[in-house]
Amino acid sequence: MPADAELARDLLRAVQAQDFGATADAERGGAALAHFPSIDLALALFAPGAAPRFANVLFSREHPGGIAAPLADDAGALVGLRYDADLQDAQGESIAWRPDADWSRLPFERLYGDGPLRVVAPYPASVLKLMVAFGIALARDRGLIAAWPHALAPMLTVSDNDATTELVRQLHRLGMIDPLHAEFGRCGLPTLRLRGTTAAGGWGNADGAGVGRIQMTAWDTLRLLWLIDGQTPQPPWLPPGSKPLRPESAAHLVELLRRQQLDGVLSSGSLRDLPGWVEGLPDAPAYAHKTGNTLNYAADAGIVQRGGGGGRYAIVVVFTNLGTRHAPQPRCASTWRLPALGGAIRSLIDAA
């Protein structure tokens, strides 16, 4: 059972209410998806004087009704699930999400776990830039760089890919890729990996990285934000004093996330002028977050300041295979069902 069964049930119902299986797919001429989409959703609620509440729910073509991840009371690494990594073919194409993809014939590789329930972890798209930013912060805290790189702000606030390339190149130059993975291991985040990136800064499919090599899951990304955010209590899955970043470094990353200019996945303020607009989570700065989207993927991860203030807040993360091929307008990152899900999560946060 999850650590908070009631919250898990609420999250399952919030996803089920959006009827994601009816989402239009441009690769099917606008007809509904051939398979129920993959949705990896995690939520943690924090309030002064109360123990954190948290849950992780997952949906896929193999679990269209959704499953609640069996979380431990200490919010540690998942047990009882098996994550398979996303994958690309020899031409560098993402193949798991094609309408005719037969998962029984695809050569999925194990990402983590050996439980009886299999989940294929969708590529995190530009949410991967949280891992890059975390690596830069570690390098600064270890005295390897004296000042914050100018590329950090555009990478996090407008998802600038050239800035990301510059920072990945810097991580390699500083010898920080292996230490970054070692820190993820020390922090108990086994599904976070920035594999295949190059010394020239390459991080996409064509570089030998990208889909299937760079991985994140909602639960471990939520706990990464838990470690970064200075408001959160001591992470119960780690020994006391185990937060990996200096408080001022963590605060700098959160402040950059509060300057987010791309509110278009779980939040939707940047799309307010479009027909059919659906309100989601609050926009930045109330939602300090990083989005990601490509043709096949849409993702969002961040920290929500709850209505009413008083030190109450939440962390929410979602990874999906619902990219721009499901968008009703060219400016949209995905289906309106994702900000609708954000709105449902907002109601859960405000009511908690």
pLDDT (tens digit, 9 = 90+) per residue, 104-120?
999 999 999 998 999 99
Nearby residues of 58 by Cβ (< 8 Å), 6 or more positions away: 38, 39, 40, 41, 66, 67, 69, 81, 119, 218
Cα-Cα-Cα-Cα dihedral sign, residues 345, 320, 18, 4 = negative
Please count the other Cβ atoms lying within 10 Å of the Cβ belonging to residue 74: 12
Give the bridge partners for 110, in sequence order. Answer: 84
Q: What are phi and psi of 278, to 5 degrees?
A: -125, 130
Alpha helices in the chain (DSSP H): 5-16, 129-141, 152-157, 161-173, 177-186, 218-228, 247-258, 337-351
Instruction: Give me the domain span that covers residue 30.
Output: 5-351
Q: With a cut of 50, which residues of the chain have pLDDT below it?
A: 1-2
Give me the CATH number covering residue 54.
Answer: 3.40.710.10
> Running DSSP on this structure, what letter comes out for residue 32?
B
CA distances from 74 to 80, 236, 311 (A): 15, 5, 22
Is the preceding omega at residue 70 within 30 degrees of 0, hence cis? no
Q: Which strand (E) or helix (H) includes residue 215?
A: strand 214-215
pLDDT value for 308: 58
Sort strands 214-215 and 193-194 into parallel, antiparallel or unpaired: antiparallel
> Sign (positive/negative) of CA torsion 225, 58, 128, 220?
positive
Amino acid at 289: H
26: helix, coil or strand? helix
| DSSP one-letter code for 50 | S
How many CB atoms are located within 10 Å of the residue 301 CB? Answer: 26
- DSSP collapsed to 3 states, 63-129: EEEEEECCCCCCCCCCCCEEEEECCECCCCCECCCCCCCCHHHCCCCEEECCCCEEEEECCCHHHHH
Q: How far is CA 226 from the centre of its chain?
A: 13
Question: Contact at 8 Å (CB) between 263 and 270?
Answer: yes
* Number of domains present in the structure of the chain: 1
Query: Counting Cβ atoms within 10 Å, is residue 70 exposed (0-12), middle (13-18) or buried (19+)?
Result: middle
Nearest C-alpha neighbor of 182 from the set 193, 169, 171: 193
User: What's the whole-model pTM score?
Assistant: 0.97
**Cα-based torsion angle of the residue sequence 61, 223, 196, 38 in order, rounded to the nearest 10 degrees:** 10
Determine phi and psi for 267, rounding to 5 degrees: -105, 165
Q: Strands of 313-320's sheet, edge to edge?
A: 63-68, 53-60, 39-46, 313-320, 298-305, 287-293
Burial of 6 (0-12, 13-18, 19+ CB in 10 A): exposed
Beta-bridge partners for 303: 288, 315
**pLDDT tens, 155-211?**
999 999 999 999 999 999 999 999 999 999 999 999 999 999 999 999 999 999 999
> 3-state class of 174 per DSSP?
coil
Say what the pLDDT of residue 309 is: 59
The pLDDT, as a whole number, for residue 125 is 98
Please list the residues that pair with 193 across neighbouring strands. 215
Write down the pLDDT at residue 231. 84
Q: Which pLDDT does position 79 carry in this prediction?
A: 86
